[in-house]
């Protein structure tokens, strides 16, 4: 495989297997070298971006992604390339364009999706060709920058998830970090300064061809819904494969500040206690992409001071804190973070106080709205179709929120969903009696079931605590060895 110059897809499973092995081997070396020498700049990375194995694995990532059926500005989908162009010819042509430097990114296609509060979020959808190149770039750059990222950054990183960020927040709030700065960056993905971002990328990447490729993607432009192409002077379009990594590189300026600040995670326990006796505060950062919390072991005045410091730290990257949404909260008042409500209150039947995590009202309202919308749609479908749409929504939501104090919420959601589905059946069969309804749609019982499909029961999901992993989360590439 290493000696091949053509992307061989005639035996897809075998070719992908060997390609993944080669990519993992090279990624492990890159990560190991980056860990051993924090000041090392990597040259000759461009050849890896165009390597047959990297391109093939990148294609597989794009092909298996949920957005494979969505076309970019050129109107081509993954299925179109597979059926009309041919995967082997497509990848060979792409590699040739990369090697002779004729590849040029196409403007991303704008798509506006609704946000909470009636606002809209802009997504930039790249072409399939650009997605493959971005995926290959990510395969090369990610193991290098993962060596530099701090352990308290969790968003869009391998082997990390939102539950780790929530678990760390709870862990710290139980240990004197009672004041919280809830950080909100205005339009983070749209306002990152290109020059500052490329400067941070250039600290690790010495290959000018790779830097030029990253810059080309940043400057590719946006094809707006009105059909006009507009240049992009700031930001990295949300929706691209490379964008989360670039955003993490930009926001790592905040991580690096707290990693070295006095009273931060690098400060010893003895020194942190000494600082508290002297009236000084200790600080910890928990970040998931552009959502972050600064937890303060001190007073409100310390939280106000660090909020102003954070604004100054992110300013050189072109980022600005939202004055309205960046608030200071005490853990007894509670805060919403990544869909969870985190709050300290008294345990029932006891005078002891604990920090609890449970689904936020906003998250519960969102899933209820989805169920309500599905149960309002046409009555000409069978119950089987309705269950096939409602069940994945409930199952995914409960899988996320089962790591907390969620039992009562799950019970409420079960009751709500039962009533919605039963009302849908009653509207479908207006003259049907309860006895007939139970016989036809509940198997003689009370819970909807149809043709071996059963309505998912949230209150039957087991509740468990998520194990706090701290800094022990391993990367996918071993840092030691030959």
> Average of pLDDT values for 13-36?
95
> Average of pLDDT values for 344-349?
89
| Residue 350 confidence (pLDDT) above 80 | yes
Instruction: Measure the CA–CA gap between 421 and 151, rounded to whole angstroms.
Output: 44
* pLDDT the model gives residue 2: 44
Which of 236, 226, 227, 232 is closest to 198 using CA atoms?
A: 236
Instruction: Measure the CA–CA gap between 390 and 103, rounded to whole angstroms.
Output: 44
* pLDDT the model gives residue 11: 74
Instruction: Measure the CA–CA gap between 212 and 440, rounded to whole angstroms.
Output: 64
**At 117, is the pLDDT very low, low, confident or very high (cuts 50, 70, 90)?**
low
* pLDDT the model gives residue 1: 41
| Residue 127 confidence (pLDDT) above 80 | yes
Mean pLDDT of the chain: 93
Taking only the tens place, the pLDDT of each residue in 354-413 is 999 999 999 999 999 999 999 998 888 899 999 999 999 999 999 999 999 999 999 999
This prediction's pTM: 0.93
In angstroms, how far is the first alpha carbon of the chain from the final one? Answer: 22
> Average of pLDDT values for 262-283?
96
| Residue 304 confidence (pLDDT) above 70 | yes
**Rg of the chain on CA atoms, in Å:** 26
> Average of pLDDT values for 443-452?
91
Contact 57, 139 (CB under 8 A): yes
> Average of pLDDT values for 443-466?
93
Instruction: Measure the CA–CA gap between 381 and 125, rounded to whole angstroms.
Output: 33
Q: Calculate the alpha carbon distances from 151 to 88, 97, 170, 469 in Å.
A: 40, 38, 16, 10
**At 183, is the pLDDT very low, low, confident or very high (cuts 50, 70, 90)?**
very high
Instruction: Measure the CA–CA gap between 421 and 374, rounded to whole angstroms.
Output: 9
| Residue 5 confidence (pLDDT) above 60 | no
> Average of pLDDT values for 68-79?
93
pLDDT cut 70: percent of the chain above it = 96
Taking only the tens place, the pLDDT of each residue in 193-244 is 999 999 999 999 999 999 999 999 999 999 988 889 989 999 998 889 999 9
* pLDDT the model gives residue 206: 97
> Average of pLDDT values for 458-462?
96
Which of 412, 335, 417 is closest to 369 using CA atoms?
A: 417
Cα-flanking dihedrals φ and ψ of residue 90, to 5°?
-60, -45
* pLDDT the model gives residue 7: 63
Of the listed ranges 78-82, 183-187, 306-310, 376-380, the one predicted with least confidence = 376-380
């Amino acid at each position: 495989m290493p000696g091949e110059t053509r992307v061989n897809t005639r035996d897809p499973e075998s070719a992908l297997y060997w390609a993944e092995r080669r990519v993992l081997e090279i990624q492990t070396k890159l990560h190991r070298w980056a860990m051993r020498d924090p000041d090392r700049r990597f040259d000759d990375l461009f050849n890896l971006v165009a390597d047959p194995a990297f391109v093939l694995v990148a294609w597989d990532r794009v092909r298996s992604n949920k957005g494979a059926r969505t076309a970019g500005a050129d109107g081509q989908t993954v299925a179109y390339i597979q059926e009309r162009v041919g995967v082997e010819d497509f990848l060979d042509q792409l590699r040739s364009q990369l090697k002779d430097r004729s590849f040029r990114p196409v403007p991303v296609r704008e798509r506006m999706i609704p946000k909470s509060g009636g606002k809209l979020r802009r997504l930039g959808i790249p072409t399939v060709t650009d997605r493959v190149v971005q995926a290959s770039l990510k395969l090369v750059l990610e193991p290098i920058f993962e060596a530099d990222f701090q352990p308290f950054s969790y968003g869009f990183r391998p082997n990390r998830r939102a539950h780790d960020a929530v678990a760390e927040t709870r862990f710290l709030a139980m240990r004197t970090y009672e004041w919280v700065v809830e950080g909100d960056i205005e339009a983070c993905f749209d306002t990152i300064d290109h020059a500052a971002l490329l400067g941070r990328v250039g600290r690790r990447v010495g290959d000018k061809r790779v830097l030029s490729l990253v810059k080309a993607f940043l400057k590719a432009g946006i094809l707006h819904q009105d059909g006009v192409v507009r240049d992009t002077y700031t930001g990295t379009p949300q929706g691209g494969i490379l964008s989360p990594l670039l955003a993490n590189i930009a926001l790592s300026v905040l991580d690096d500040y707290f990693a070295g600040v006095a009273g931060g995670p690098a400060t010893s326990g003895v020194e942190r206690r000494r600082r508290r006796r002297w009236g000084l505060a200790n600080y910890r950062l928990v970040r998931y992409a552009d959502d972050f919390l600064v937890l303060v072991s001190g007073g409100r005045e310390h939280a106000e001071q660090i909020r102003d410091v954070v604004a100054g730290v992110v300013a050189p990257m072109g980022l600005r804190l939202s004055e309205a949404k960046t608030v200071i909260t005490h853990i007894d008042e509670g805060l919403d973070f990544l869909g969870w409500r985190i709050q300290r209150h008294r345990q029932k039947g006891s005078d002891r106080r604990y920090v609890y995590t449970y689904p936020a009202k906003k998250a519960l309202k969102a899933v209820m709205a989805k169920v309500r919308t599905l149960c309002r749609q046409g009555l000409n479908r069978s119950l089987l179709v309705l269950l096939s749409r409602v069940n994945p929504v409930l199952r995914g939501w409960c899988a996320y929120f089962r790591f907390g104090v969620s039992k009562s919420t799950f019970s409420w959601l079960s009751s709500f969903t039962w009533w919605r589905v039963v009302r849908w059946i009653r509207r479908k069969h207006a003259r049907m009696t309860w006895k007939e309804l139970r016989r036809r749609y509940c198997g003689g019982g009370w819970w909807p079931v149809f043709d071996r499909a059963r309505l998912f029961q949230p209150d039957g999901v087991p509740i468990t605590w998520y194990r706090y992993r701290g800094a022990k989360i391993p990367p996918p590439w071993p840092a030691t060895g030959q």
